[in-house]
Amino acid sequence: MDFLFGIKGKDFVMVCSDTCASQQIITIKHDEDKLVPIDSHKLICISGEPGDRVQFSEFVIANVRLYALRNDFPLSTPAVANFTRNELATALRKRMYQTNLLIAGWDGKTGPSLFWLDYLATMHAMNVAGTGYGSYFVLSMMDRLWRPDLTEAEALDLMHCGIKEIKKRLVVAQPSYVVKVVDKDGTRVVSTVAYITRYVPSEFSGCSAAYQQLEGLLHLVNSSTKWAVSSAAFVTLLLRRDSLTLWCLVGSVAATELCKWLKTVINEQRPALALKQDAGMPSSHANALSFLSTSAALALLRTPPDWSLALAGLLLAIADFLAWLRVKLGYHTREQVLAGAALGVLRGKA
């Protein structure tokens, strides 16, 4: 029941897929990433039998990357599509791959490209493409609304309209979807859509709405953390104007830069459906929060008032909560947050 869809815009390609992994009538997971990056500016969007889907996508990605390493030059998106089509055609008389694909990419000379391929090795360059039962309900709508100068915001609106149409009309529609875009800046997640519903007894019907409100509040707190912490640090510097406060701010910036360097060295990706697709080990947010809270707590413990201990504990608790939000909302794995927090605590003590 896989669903893939793609739209080529003026200077980007936007693709969408469901995120469910299923076997016959059983849903296994709701966070399967079927929009797999080939390199920084290409995606292979693949559907079909789970084994064939994973094996064939890994085979294509490995060979494309091997070519780039051997020749010190990456394949273009049309070249990747033709290579993939050739492998599908070769497999027809050996071991057919039960997969349908979209290949999306952006190249410096040719711009955005979108290719549709099926398991019989048919390939077409498309402006609008889709595969799966869901595409039956959205292809005609997208064909009518597509135009060459489509903007990213307009394409995202079309994607959301298509997902709503599928949920409304397809009996076996999947509950969750992810939308990614490929442009000159690379690949990234631009939207996640979930329609996962649970049975709630009538006496607890208010709890579901309250939970959704809580989720929205957590997202708001997470998005405002950076500005709130920066503002608080700036105000503290203006009020105190001492070397300790300045050291905390400089140390926080240094810790953030160290995290960025470690991310490039370790190169461990964030969770599959995170809104950012860069490396996530260690977490910069957890690192900065731990460093600032540890430094501030140690400074407070050196002051005589009785409430210093309680305030220091409160600062550490807030930092822990904000770091936990990064895991709760899917921006980082638990290990990435723990590594960032540990690094921040060590630097704060130093």
Q: What is the pLDDT of residues 195-235, one digit of tens each?
A: 544 444 444 444 445 655 666 677 777 777 767 766 666 66
Reply yes or no on whether the pLDDT at 83 is more than 90. Answer: yes
Give the domain-ending residue among 143, 173, 194.
194
As a whole number of angstroms, the distance between CA 275 and CA 273 comes to: 6
- Based on the structure, what is the number of domains in the chain? 2
pLDDT at 194: 67
Residue 332's pLDDT is what? Answer: 80
Average pLDDT over every residue of 176-181: 90
pLDDT at residue 79 greater than cutoff 60: yes
Q: Which residue has the higher pLDDT, 251 or 13?
A: 13
Query: What proportion of the chain, given as a percentage, has pLDDT over 70?
Result: 79
| Kind plus residue range of the DSSP H or E element containing 163 | helix 152-169
Query: Are 46 and 99 a contacting pair, CB within 8 Å?
Result: yes
What confidence category does residue 141 fall into, taking pLDDT thresholds of 50, 70 and 90? confident
241 against 23, higher pLDDT = 23
Alpha-carbon 155 to chain mean position: 18
pLDDT of residue 90: 93
| pLDDT range class, residue 169, cuts 50, 70, 90 | confident
pLDDT digits (tens, 9 = 90+) for 333-343: 888 888 888 87
Q: What torsion do the CA atoms of 155, 156, 162, 166 make, to the nearest 10 degrees?
A: 160
The reply to whether 216 and 156 lie within a common domain is: no
User: Helix, strand, coil: what percent of the chain each, to 5?
Assistant: 55, 20, 25
User: What does the radius of gyration of the chain's CA atoms come to, in whole angstroms?
Assistant: 24
Average pLDDT (243-247) is 65
The whole-number pLDDT of residue 183 equals 92
Q: Determine the angle formed by the axes of helices 334-349 and 308-328, rounding to 10 degrees.
A: 150
Alpha carbon distance 119, 85 (integer Å): 9
What span, in angstroms and rounded, lies between the C-alpha atoms of 196 and 175?
A: 5
Range of the domain at 267: 202-349
Which letter does DSSP use for residue 215 in this model? H
Q: Do 178 and 210 sit in the same domain of this protein?
A: no
What integer pLDDT is reported at residue 16 of this predicted model?
A: 92
Same domain, 240 and 316: yes
Asked whether the predicted pLDDT for residue 22 surpasses 60, the reply is yes
H or E stretch covering 65: helix 50-71
Please tell me whether residues 187 and 219 are part of one structural domain. no
Tokens of 62: 């490995």
Average predicted confidence (pLDDT) for the chain: 81
**Residue 238: pLDDT over 90:** no
How confident is the model at residue 205, as a pLDDT?
42
Q: Residue 25 carries which side chain, given as an amino acid letter?
A: I
What burial class does residue 145 get, using C-beta atoms within 10 Å of its C-beta: 0-12 exposed, 13-18 middle, 19+ buried? middle
- DSSP character at residue 39: E
Mean pLDDT of 237-244: 62
Do 273 and 127 fall within a single domain?
no
* Degrees, nearest 5: CA angle 27-28-32: 105
Residues 262 and 313 in one domain: yes
Mean pLDDT in residue range 157-169: 88
Tell whether the model's pLDDT for residue 324 goes beyond 70.
yes
What is residue 172's three-state secondary structure? coil
Q: Are residues 186 and 212 in the same domain?
A: no
- Averaged over 300-320, what is the pLDDT? 71
Residues 100 and 222 in one domain: no
> Do residue 278 and residue 189 come from a single domain?
no
**pLDDT tens digits, one per residue of 30-61:** 888 899 999 989 999 999 888 898 999 999 99
Higher pLDDT: 309 or 139? It is: 139
Q: Measuring CA to CA, which residue among 189, 139, 137, 194 is closest to residue 168?
A: 137
In this structure, what DSSP letter does residue 76 have?
P
Tell me the mean pLDDT in the region 283-306.
Answer: 72
- Whichever domain contains 159, its CATH number is 3.60.20.10
Tell whether 184 and 214 lie within a shared domain: no
Measured CA to CA, the distance from residue 75 to residue 107 in angstroms comes to 9
Q: Give pLDDT tens digits for 110-130.
A: 899 999 999 999 999 999 999
Checking if the pLDDT of 68 tops 50, the result is: yes
Answer with the residue of higher pLDDT: 69 or 258: 69
User: Quick one: 26 and 167 in the same domain?
Assistant: yes
Q: How many CB atoms lie within 10 A of CB 105?
A: 28
pLDDT at res. 221? 75
Q: Which of 194, 216, 233 is the last residue of a domain?
A: 194
CA distance 228 to 230: 6
pTM: 0.62
pLDDT (average), residues 224-250: 66
Instruction: Tell me which of 150, 177, 194 is where a domain ends.
Output: 194
pLDDT tens figures, 187-196: 988 877 765 4
Q: What is the pLDDT of residue 123?
A: 95
**Pair 317, 172 in one domain:** no
